[in-house]
Amino acid sequence: MNYAQRYVANGAAVLDERGPKNWRETLRAERGRIDVYSMSDCVLGILYGGYSVGRDTLWPGIDFTQGDALWEIISRHGFDYGLEAEAEELTRAWVELLDADVLV
């Protein structure tokens, strides 16, 4: 398992615990739209109508403008990236996760 798959697995676990009940079905229906590089077409954008809305809903009370909170929390859950190439890898990992769910 590479870093993108690990981070996406972390994000899926958070969504299973605190996300919309039907998050997997919603993302599967929007599978072709998923793009971690986009604020509106990223996983949180699709599920919550915007990246920041999703971030703040899943982690209420965290000030993401201070320190390393953005990287330590959001990025390590597959919702954000450091470099554009990482966004592409994370996008692929989300799609792979959804495809694997269908096969189970």
Instruction: Please give the model's pTM, rounded to 2 decimal places.
Output: 0.90
Burial (CB < 10 A; 0-12, 13-18, 19+), residue 30, is middle
If pLDDT is split at 50, 70 and 90, which confidence band does 104 have?
Answer: very low
Name the average pLDDT for the chain. Answer: 91
Please name which of 102, 103, 98, 100 lies closest in space to residue 31, comparing C-alpha atoms. 98
What is the tens place of the pLDDT at every residue in 16-52?
Answer: 999 999 999 999 999 999 999 999 999 999 999 999 9
**What is d(CA 77, CA 79) in angstroms, rounded to the nearest whole number?**
6
